[in-house]
Amino acid sequence: MTMPFRPPVSPEQVARFVAIVGESHAVTDPAEQAAYLEEPRGLYRGRTPAVLRPGTVDEVAAIMALATELGVPVVPQGGNTGLVGGQIPQSGEILVSTKRLDRIREIDPASSTMTVEAGVVLQAAQAAAAGVDRLFPLSLGAEGSCTIGGNLSSNAGGTAALAYGVARDLVLGLEVVLPDGRVWHGLNKLKKDNTGYDLRHLFMGAEGTLGVITAAVLKLFPAPRSIETAFLGLASPEAALALLGLVQERAGGSVTSFELLARICLDMALRHGTGLRDPLAGQHPWYVLIELSSGAREGLRDLLEETLALGIEQGLIVDAVMAESLEHRNAFWRMREFVSDAQRYEGGSIKQDVSVPVAAVPDFIHAASAAVTALIPGCRPVPFGHLGDGNIHFNVSQPVGADKAAFLARWDEISNAVFAEVLSRGGSISAEHGIGVMKRDYLPRIKDPVAMALMRSIKATLDPKGILNPGKVV
């Protein structure tokens, strides 16, 4: 994709932007900007003449109106936890951080809704919901630092998507600043509203290329009265898939998480994690972390025990342990959540976030593993993820003792091999992380041409000057 030439933002223009938020809320010192300009894996580093930190929707609107007037590009950023480079200013754009938009405007238990601003940290939203005996179910490894605006812009998934859906399924209304500075006031609490196009879905998953989300009405759910968690050892992904069917048949909507992990995931986590312990006495090729939640106070543990016993009887489960306390449950989840970080200590890691139909997951894992090891003998596939919704994080760690730079130089080659296996099974090259910069050039190759044309038409209509997050997605 060729980017239009734009002259650097002049000092006079920067001063006009800074005046909107005030000097105390603008960051122009390169050293102080560093935390905003590099994404978590260090793959993308950017530059900007100014990081603006608006505190109101009116300030965001003023920034975008000025950007349109001057033709100056702007990159919006939430918690800077994205993994595909979508939140990083690649070419000296103005960066707009939404972190100061951090108010919870309203909690309405009777309507089971909560209206929050874009800079509210996901964990804070979860806690606010819990404070009124409700549940906001979106849950991610980065929930202590990612923000609601970023979650919605990337249409985040997470570990509870099996039961509650992805981010876009948890939103009733949005407030969005458009590229020209107009504000769409769409903070609707209604579940039923057939008054034309449902515009909120344009902006969720658009990665900040169509508008800046400044607030949202989130759906809340009854807080669970009981939660039961188990860690299971299995022989194969096929056994895990069969077990998923058994558990869903017996427990229905109570199944809130069903996470699949290869043994290598635990090996890496145990080598590098502090305070982690192998959940089971013996080692197994595959594992499942399963969690059931219910509004009933009693009966859930019996249901899980009976289901696991049936799984053992059918030869699907080799060994199992149920959490005996909250601390025990948290230990299971710490193991699961540390898998991504553990790979950093093993050298270079080429990571892909993909999805295939649930029934195709075992075949995909076997085929993709064979494909990458044929390309790089000795490389180590590290597959794990959300089996219940078909989202597998198919990561590949370098061979032991290999040169990291040489391995990472083959990123596209490995990605192409993995994507070929994904697409041949009707899957997606991005399940929950987005397109950003990392997968932008792949998109036209695999997306339906009519869909690509529609996406570009929408972008041109809403952002005719191409100033909002240029070079991302489309």
CATH number of domain containing 25: 3.30.43.10
pLDDT of residue 5: 66
pLDDT of residue 3: 59
pLDDT of residue 81: 93
One domain for residues 184 and 237:
no
One domain for residues 64 and 32:
yes
Closest CA to 341 of 407, 391, 272: 272
One domain for residues 108 and 217:
yes
59-101 tens-digit pLDDT: 999 999 999 999 999 999 999 999 899 999 999 999 999 999 9
Domain count, the chain: 4
The helix/strand/coil state of 119 is coil
pLDDT of residue 252: 87
172 found inside a domain: yes
| CATH code for the domain in which residue 148 is found | 3.30.465.10
pLDDT of residue 1: 45
- Please list, residue by residue across 51-75, b when 16 or more beta carbons sit within 10 angstroms of its beta carbon and e when fewer do: bbbbbebebbbbbbbbbbebebbbb
Q: How far apart are CA 267 and CA 441, in angstroms?
A: 34
One domain for residues 361 and 312:
no
Host domain of residue 83 = 11-98
One domain for residues 86 and 110:
no
4 found inside a domain: no
Which single residue is written with the structure tokens 């994904």?
422
One domain for residues 295 and 336:
yes
49 found inside a domain: yes
Encoded tokens for 262:
């290869």
Contact between 114 and 106 (Cβ < 8 Å): yes
393 found inside a domain: yes
Neighbours of 190 (CB within 10 A): 12
Domain boundary among 35, 65, 98: 98
The phi-psi region of residue 275 (left if phi > 0; otherwise alpha if psi is between -120 and 50; otherwise beta) is left
469 found inside a domain: no
pLDDT of residue 4: 62
Q: How far apart are CA 334 and CA 109, in angstroms?
A: 31
Q: Which helix (H) or strand (E) holds 460?
A: helix 449-462
One domain for residues 179 and 282:
no
Domain boundary among 222, 241, 268: 222
Contact between 380 and 253 (Cβ < 8 Å): no
Contact between 382 and 343 (Cβ < 8 Å): yes
Domain boundary among 194, 222, 250: 222
445 found inside a domain: no
462 found inside a domain: no
One domain for residues 238 and 217:
no
Neighbours of 18 (CB within 10 A): 19
Closest CA to 83 of 410, 456, 393, 406: 393
Q: For residue 233, list its beta bridge partners.
A: 287, 319
Q: Does the global pTM surpass 0.75?
A: yes
Which single residue is written with the structure tokens 């105390």?
24
Q: Which residues of the chain register pLDDT less than 50?
A: 1
pLDDT of residue 141: 87
pLDDT of residue 297: 83
Q: How far apart are CA 255 and CA 25, in angstroms?
A: 44
Q: Which residue type, as a one-letter code, is found at position 31?
A: A
Neighbours of 31 (CB within 10 A): 7
| CATH code for the domain in which residue 384 is found | 3.30.70.2740
CB contact set of 302 (below 8 Å; sequence gap of 6+):
none
One domain for residues 63 and 24:
yes
One domain for residues 179 and 206:
yes
Q: How far apart are CA 348 and CA 384, in angstroms?
A: 17
One domain for residues 129 and 175:
yes
443 found inside a domain: no
One domain for residues 336 and 231:
yes
Q: How far apart are CA 464 and CA 474, in angstroms?
A: 13
Q: How far apart are CA 189 and CA 302, in angstroms?
A: 37
